[in-house]
Structure 1
Amino acid sequence: MAKLQRELDAVRSIELDNAFYVEDGTWLESLTVASNGTFDPETAIERISGASLFYSSEIPTASDDLQLRRLTILANESYPFILSLVLRQEVIPNRIVLQNGVFEVVVTARDWDQFRAMADEVQETLGEFELLSVNKDEEPGEPLDSGRLTEVLVSKLTDDQLAVLETAYDSGYFDIPREASATDLADELDVAQSTVSERLRTAERTLLELIYGPRE
């Protein structure tokens, strides 16, 4: 993942959606790559020693400035591989994302001792570990499945809804405090403010329906 990030100048993030260990340090990996510009995955993978591209598909977005691609690759991961460090302690990896040279990892552990053992190994092996938050949850969640979620979400939203969500997110509309107003979004999209509000509400309702199901 880190080598691929170095090969892509405009990459936003690389998410490890799934991985299967083959043998001798080789993994079959599914990645979602978000980039600020177009890129040729085959050329990028060819420049990485020990990696080969099996399959690539583009996930549609409404923005010309954002490209999402799902890659399936065969890669020889030299030790330490972040996923192997997590799995070694029998912790469930829920999300692994590489962004700005930093891995953000979401995991589910049985108890604090199991989590502490994993954290200690990551700290000892990689030399750095920062705990951002801890939540107690009875539902561990699915391991490394958010890439599939991305495909489902973008397929359920219209181009206009995707455009307003992407613009709102990139502009800081959802930040606390907000860095952009609905008026700013309307100016950016060249539509009326009422149109922005309507598209945001319908997009948010669609997302909630995916989580909770349609209202009776």
Structure 2
Amino acid sequence: MAKLQQTLDDVRSIELDNAFYVEDGTWIESLTVASNTEFDPETVLEEISGVSLFYSSKIPTASEELEIRRLTILANESYPFILSLILRQEAIPNRIVLQNDVFEIVATTRDWDQFRSMADEVQETLGEFELLSVTQNEEPGEPLDSGRLTEVLVSKLTSDQLEVLETAYNHGYFDVPRETSETDLADELDITQSTINERLRTAERTLLELIYGPRE
């Protein structure tokens, strides 16, 4: 993941959606790559030793300034591989994403002692570890594969809805407190404020229906 980030010119994030160990340090990995510019996965991966492309698909977006691709690759991961560090502690990796040279990890452990053991090994091996938050849950959460969720969600939205959501997100509309208004979004997209409001509400309803099902 780190080598791929270094090879791409303008990458936003690289998320590890799934991985299966083969042998001798080789893994089959599924990655979701978001970039500010178009890129050819096969050409990019040719520059990385020990990595070959198995399959690539493009996830639709409404923005010309964003390209999202889901890659399935065969990669020889030298130690330490961040996923193997987590699995060695028998923790569940819920999310692993690389952004701005920093790995952000969401993992589930049985208890605090197991978490401390995992954190100590990560810090000892990689040299740095910062705890952002801890939550106690009854359910452990699913291991990885959030990239597939992204693919499913965007396939349910129209291009107009995707454009409004992406613009709103990129301009801080969903931040707390908000960094922009519907009026600003309307000016940015050159459409009316009522259209912005309608597309946002329709997109939000579509996403909620995927979670809760349509209302009767």
Q: What TM-score results when the alignment is normalised by the length of structure 2?
A: 0.98
Question: Is it true that 1:36 corresponds to 2:54 in the alignment?
Answer: no
Q: CA deviation at 1:175?
A: 1.2
Q: CA deviation at 1:138?
A: 1.2
Cα distance in 2 for partners of 1:215, 1:111 equals 39
Q: CA deviation at 1:178?
A: 1.3
Q: CA deviation at 1:55?
A: 0.7
Task: Name the structure 2 match of 1:188.
Answer: 188
Task: Name the structure 2 match of 1:166.
Answer: 166
Task: Name the structure 1 match of 2:213.
Answer: 213
Task: Name the structure 2 match of 1:87.
Answer: 87
Cα distance in 2 for partners of 1:67, 1:155 equals 15
Task: Name the structure 1 match of 2:201.
Answer: 201
Q: CA deviation at 1:120?
A: 0.7
Cα distance in 1 for partners of 2:214, 2:115 equals 37
- Matched residue of 1:38: which SS? coil
What stretches of structure 1 move > 6 A for 4+ residues in a row?
none
Deviates more, 1:43-52 or 1:139-148: 139-148
RMSD after superposition: 0.7
Q: CA deviation at 1:209?
A: 1.1
Instruction: Return the letter of the residue paired with 1:138.
Output: E
Task: Name the structure 2 match of 1:131.
Answer: 131
Cα distance in 1 for partners of 2:42, 2:195 equals 40
Cα distance in 2 for partners of 1:44, 1:55 equals 13
Cα distance in 2 for partners of 1:203, 1:127 equals 42
- Matched residue of 2:63: which SS? coil
Instruction: Return the letter of the residue paired with 1:68.
Output: I
Cα distance in 2 for partners of 1:197, 1:110 equals 43
- Matched residue of 1:196: which SS? helix
Q: What TM-score results when the alignment is normalised by the length of structure 1?
A: 0.98
Q: Which runs of 5+ in 1 are unaligned?
A: none
Q: CA deviation at 1:211?
A: 1.3
Instruction: Return the letter of the residue paired with 2:37.
Output: G
Q: CA deviation at 1:58?
A: 0.4
Identity %: 83
Length, aligned pairs only: 216
Task: Name the structure 1 match of 2:4.
Answer: 4
Q: CA deviation at 1:137?
A: 1.1
Instruction: Return the letter of the residue paired with 1:64.
Output: E
Q: CA deviation at 1:73?
A: 0.5
Cα distance in 1 for partners of 2:26, 2:165 equals 38
Instruction: Return the letter of the residue paired with 1:206.
Output: T
Question: Is it true that 1:54 corresponds to 2:54 in the alignment?
Answer: yes
- Matched residue of 1:37: which SS? coil
Q: CA deviation at 1:212?
A: 1.4
Task: Name the structure 1 match of 2:107.
Answer: 107
